[in-house]
Amino acid sequence: MNTELLEALNILEQEKNISKDTLLEAIEQSLIQACKNHFGKADNVKVNINPQTCDFGVYAEKTVVEEVLDPVLEISLANAKMIDSKYEVGDVVNVEIKSKEFGRIATQNAKNVILQKIREEERKVLYNEYFEKEKDVITGIVQRNLGKNISVNLGRVDAMLNESEQVKTEHFRPTERIKVYVLEVKDTPKGPKIQVSRTHPELVKRLFESEVTEVRDGIVEIKSIAREAGSRTKIAVWSNDPDVDPVGACVGMNGARVNAIVEELRGEKIDIINWDENPAFLIENALSPAKVISVMADPDEKTAQVIVPDYQLSLAIGKEGQNARLAARLTGYKIDIKSETQAREAGIFDDIEEYDDEYEDDEFAAEDGEQEYEEYDEENEGADAQMHGVPGDEE
C-alpha cells in the first residue's frame, strides 16, 4: 500500500473538496506525460492505479519482433522470453517502466501536470459552489475599497460590489458584515468572478423569504416589487390561504419582521400592500397611504386615470413623484393622477357621484391632514403597516 500517497489524496479531498478519482486521474496523466518527455513518445504507455491502496504501475506495450528497430515500441524475442517463455513473435508484452528512472525534467513536468489539475479542479469546485448561489442572498464581510468599488469576502472567494450596485446613502467599514444579492458568477482562469448588488429589487424579496416563514413556504406570494434603493420599496403580496393575512404575515408582531429587513437595508422604508387581480383595486392599494376617490383602468392600454381629493394630491404623488412612480412600476400601469378639482375642470368627474361627506369631515381634512400624517410617519417610520402597508411619502 502506498500510504503516503493515500494520505495526501485524502487530505486534498477534505481540504479542497476535490474527489480522489480526479486526483488519481491527474497522477495517471502526469505519468504518461513523464514517459513522453523521457522516451519521446507515450502512445503505448498504460498506467494502472489501485484506488483503494494507491499502488500504481506504469507499463509499456511492446510488440515482440526478431529485430528491434524502435526500442520504445518493440522488444526482441529473446528479451520477451526472459519475461515469459510463452511469448512468440507478434505478441504484445507489458514491460514495466520504473518511474524512479525518469529524469529531472520529466519529473518536474509530471509535478506541474498534477498541480495544474489540482488548481483547475479547485477553481471548478469554487465556481460550482457559488454558481448555485446565483440569484440568491449571501452574507459577506467588507474587505476594502477598490476605487469606488468594494471588495466583499463571501467565505472562500471575494466578490465585487460595483459602484452602480451600491446604495448611495450606504457607507461600509472594513470587517462589517452585510447581505448582498448575487447577480452573476463567471468562470475565469483566475477563479470565479462574482458580481453582487445592494440595489436589486430581488434583494428585498430574498430578505422577506428568509425572514417570513409564510413567504418561504409559499403560503404568501410576493407578486410584485418596485424599489428605489436607499429610499423606499413597495411590494404587493397575496395569500394562498384565506386564513392568512399576507400583509400581517410580512409585517410580523409589532412590526418585528419588517423591522429586521428595514434594519438590514439601513432604514429604507417598505410599503406592503395587498395584491388584487382587479387592476383598479391594485392601483388604489399601490397609491397607499393616499385616499383615492376613483380609478379608471384600461387593461389593454395599461393606463389608469386616478382621482384623489384635493388635499391628498401631493400625498398620492409623493416627494419628487416617488409614490406615484413606485406605484406605476409595481402595477405595470401608466398612472395619471388628478385632484378632484382638476378632474371636474377637465370634465372627467361629471359622471362620478359626489363622494361621501366623510372626506369633508375626515380627520385628515383641511390644513391639518398632512401634518398629522407626518407625525404618524415619524413615529412609525419603516415599521408599522396597515392593510395597505407602511405609510408612504409625505409632502
pLDDT digits (tens, 9 = 90+) for 92-106: 888 877 766 676 776
**Band of the pLDDT at 367, cuts 50, 70, 90?**
very low
pLDDT digits (tens, 9 = 90+) for 310-322: 999 999 999 999 9
Contacts of 262 (CB under 8 A, 6+ apart): 268, 269, 270, 382, 383
Average pLDDT (150-158) is 93
Average confidence (pLDDT) over 199-208: 95
Residues 57, 247: Cα–Cα separation, whole Å: 69
Domains in the chain, please, with CATH? 3-130 (3.30.1480.10), 133-197 (2.40.50.140), 201-379 (3.30.300.20)
Residues β-bridged to residue 237 = 222, 274
Q: How does pLDDT run across 264-288, given as a tens digit for each residue?
A: 999 999 999 999 999 999 999 999 8
Q: What is the dihedral of CA 82, 55, 111, 118, to 10 degrees?
A: 150
Closest CA to 96 of 166, 46, 163: 46
Length of the chain: 395
Please report which confidence band the pLDDT of residue 2 belongs to, taking 50, 70 and 90 as the band edges: low
Give the separation between CA 129 and CA 157, rounded to whole angstroms: 10
Angstrom distance (rounded) from CA 353 to CA 345:
15
Distance CA 196, CA 234 (A): 22
d(CA 328, CA 320): 14
Mean pLDDT over 125-138 rounds to 92
SS3 label, residue 278: coil
**In the chain, what percentage of residues exceed pLDDT 70?**
86
Stretch 42-71: mean pLDDT:
81
Q: Is the pLDDT of residue 356 over 70?
A: no
Lowest mean pLDDT: which of 117-126, 180-189, 248-257, 383-392? 383-392
